[in-house]
Chain A
């Protein structure tokens, strides 16, 4: 067996913190050794640790880091198909291939997510209404399973394993590599429109009106506004700028480097007043404008410019609560927003987006409807509030995002994810011994 060490790990929300045995293979054969060794307490694959809660934690067991298995394996300049290992960060792909005119067809809110993590959480971006999830652009997954060795999974072959692995939270096997279809872009610039929204109804109506005309759309919501202002915010609409609209270099040389938050901010820093002031200032800076040119990276990953922004919520960490409710259940959106605002637990970020139809992944989060995400610093009483919100969401026929969740219980999970039984059946064939498990999996009853 390869060496391991014990670490206290957390997700991006820094809550919960769990002691795990960490393996970090540098060769594919070493990854196979870890799975074959069936570490005590099981094992879960881990990438850059950007899931917020306990998806890549395994208290009393092991995690296997894919960060040294991050090789780009092949790229076809004609078709845009990239094959790479699971430990490659999406940002590395952008660095290597954006200068050649290729971009990922779906990116989440940070570039610091691995390909393995993007598949395991079947991540979405601001273009879900137009393009679906990351998984839609995955053609093939090489999956190392405890029960059936290396499986090459696609829509045609091993389709069950493929659909279980998209959004499968790493519980079907360790993703060794994947083939992903990239998208051609004419520039590294975005053309952006922004429009203030008066209230929630206004925001929803504007989404419905403007979505179809733009590849990317998202609304930032002032989560502190209540009553008739509930849901006021800013709607951002974006598209890749065509080369013809760029005066200078379409792919300028980019400089890297982020400003880091060097210490844990006192939790009080983000109190009602400061967050309220921030929200008003943000809104004021986003008066309606159209056709603004913006470099691609700050458009997709504004928070990556502040390294370690998760430390802003203080030592106890935070929860990012993201849920989706189907069309017609807009009341649930208002109910959760109202409850969050009334709780006085300042939310730094509230993001609203319209999802298109659900994809193929058995446990994928996105489904047609409205998704909202809110941040809450960890404090006493938070679990009770989240559990109540989970109930509202489940009653509305919606679900919460497992990649962000830290508090959902097994009973509510089953109501939210009707395909869970089908997932368990596939998992049993790939991992009959139950080697793959995680703190999340045990909490919601997936392992």
Chain B
């Protein structure tokens, strides 16, 4: 049982497997939840599940990632409703798209950038302002190891996630002075719909394991976490390869 009341957490992109597992980890610790997703029927089911299993308040709100203009209103209504109880946000918006299509079709490329980068920035802007004024809370965003280095196999997705990681660095630098924690999560392969049956995946982690890592990271420790942890050294190695060598590889 929690020793003090836990704040409400907004989970954006709540129907993904990582988001669902993270929401469950937060609920287990007593956090009330607001689940924002495009598919509200699914988000409603997940909210009901969290209420029943963990006895915390949980509700769903509609979120259209690509309707940027709607984000401020969504953030506003959640913040108004939750008031001082609002503690932070976990953003798990993500869409891999079709990397092959995105090479030649700029509209696919743009969609990948919009979902993975623009939408997250759009949603976080009003929330970051609120947390900065309040002087407490957290922002936790699921980025990806794909953003650490561009590879021919999925560089548009990688560019979006890389841009997102840089955005979060800056936001962290800004909000640190207000006492707000900003966490960048970089999962490797996770056993979700995104990787199911995908050739070339290895060391695939269960979403529950990644979720435990996410919640630990929200509570403290390094600001940028690789999940599972072994991806840290792996990606350091990959980043260390000189570009004139790296460009020759088929990755």
Residue positions of A touching B, CB distance < 8 A? 2-5, 22, 24, 26-30, 68, 71-75, 85, 92, 95-96
- What's the Cα separation between A116 and B101 when bound, in Å? 38
Q: Mark B12-26 against chain A: 1 for CB-CB distance below 8 A, else 0.
A: 000111000000000
A116 CB, nearest partner CB in chain B, Å: 15
- What's the Cα separation between A75 and B53 when bound, in Å? 10
A26-B17 in contact given A2-B193, A3-B197, A72-B53 (Cβ < 8 Å): yes
Q: Is the CB of B49 within 8 A of A73?
A: yes
B49: nearest chain-A partner, CB-CB:
A71
What residues on B are CB-neighbors of A27 within 8 Å?
Answer: 15, 39, 42
Q: Is the CB of B52 within 8 A of A96?
A: yes
User: Which of A2, A4, A72 meets B48, CB within 8 Å?
Assistant: A72
Q: Is the CB of A26 within 8 A of B193?
A: yes
Q: Is the CB of B39 within 8 A of A74?
A: no
- What's the Cα separation between A28 and B15 when bound, in Å? 11
Between A and B, 30 residue pairs with Cβ closer than 8 Å are A2-B193, A2-B196, A3-B193, A3-B196, A3-B197, A3-B198, A4-B197, A5-B197, A26-B15, A26-B17, A27-B15, A27-B39, A28-B41, A28-B42, A28-B45, A29-B39, A29-B42, A30-B193, A68-B17, A71-B45, A71-B46, A71-B49, A72-B48, A72-B49, A72-B52, A73-B48, A73-B52, A85-B45, A92-B53, A95-B53
A5-B52 in contact given A28-B41, A68-B17 (Cβ < 8 Å): no
- What's the Cα separation between A93 and B49 when bound, in Å? 11
B198: nearest chain-A partner, CB-CB:
A3
A-B contact count (CB 8 A): 48
Secondary structure call for the A interface: mixed
A362 CB, nearest partner CB in chain B, Å: 30
Residue positions of B touching A, CB distance < 8 A? 15-17, 39, 41-42, 45-46, 48-49, 52-53, 192-193, 196-198
What residues on A are CB-neighbors of B198 within 8 Å?
Answer: 3
- What's the Cα separation between A366 and B46 when bound, in Å? 35
Q: Which 10 A-B pairs have the closest CB atoms?
A: A5-B197, A71-B49, A72-B52, A3-B197, A71-B45, A3-B196, A72-B49, A96-B53, A73-B48, A27-B42
- What's the Cα separation between A71 and B15 when bound, in Å? 12
A6: nearest chain-B partner, CB-CB:
B197
Q: Is the CB of B49 within 8 A of A5?
A: no
- What's the Cα separation between A3 and B96 when bound, in Å? 13
- What's the Cα separation between A304 and B115 when bound, in Å? 44
- What's the Cα separation between A92 and B49 when bound, in Å? 11
- What's the Cα separation between A5 and B48 when bound, in Å? 30
- What's the Cα separation between A240 and B48 when bound, in Å? 29
B19 CB, nearest partner CB in chain A, Å: 11
What residues on A are CB-neighbors of B41 within 8 Å?
Answer: 28
B199: nearest chain-A partner, CB-CB:
A5
- What's the Cα separation between A431 and B131 when bound, in Å? 54
A82: nearest chain-B partner, CB-CB:
B52
What residues on A are CB-neighbors of B52 within 8 Å?
Answer: 72-75, 96
A71-B197 in contact given A26-B15, A26-B192, A27-B42 (Cβ < 8 Å): no
- What's the Cα separation between A85 and B49 when bound, in Å? 10
- What's the Cα separation between A30 and B192 when bound, in Å? 13
What residues on A are CB-neighbors of B48 within 8 Å?
Answer: 71-74
A30 CB, nearest partner CB in chain B, Å: 8
B16: nearest chain-A partner, CB-CB:
A26
- What's the Cα separation between A392 and B181 when bound, in Å? 71
B89 CB, nearest partner CB in chain A, Å: 22
A72: nearest chain-B partner, CB-CB:
B52
- What's the Cα separation between A85 and B45 when bound, in Å? 9
What residues on B are CB-neighbors of A24 within 8 Å?
Answer: 193, 196
- What's the Cα separation between A96 and B48 when bound, in Å? 13
B13 CB, nearest partner CB in chain A, Å: 13
- What's the Cα separation between A24 and B16 when bound, in Å? 13
What residues on B are CB-neighbors of A2 within 8 Å?
Answer: 193, 196
What residues on B are CB-neighbors of A73 within 8 Å?
Answer: 45, 48-49, 52
- What's the Cα separation between A96 and B42 when bound, in Å? 20
What residues on A are CB-neighbors of B42 within 8 Å?
Answer: 27-29
B93 CB, nearest partner CB in chain A, Å: 15
A71: nearest chain-B partner, CB-CB:
B49
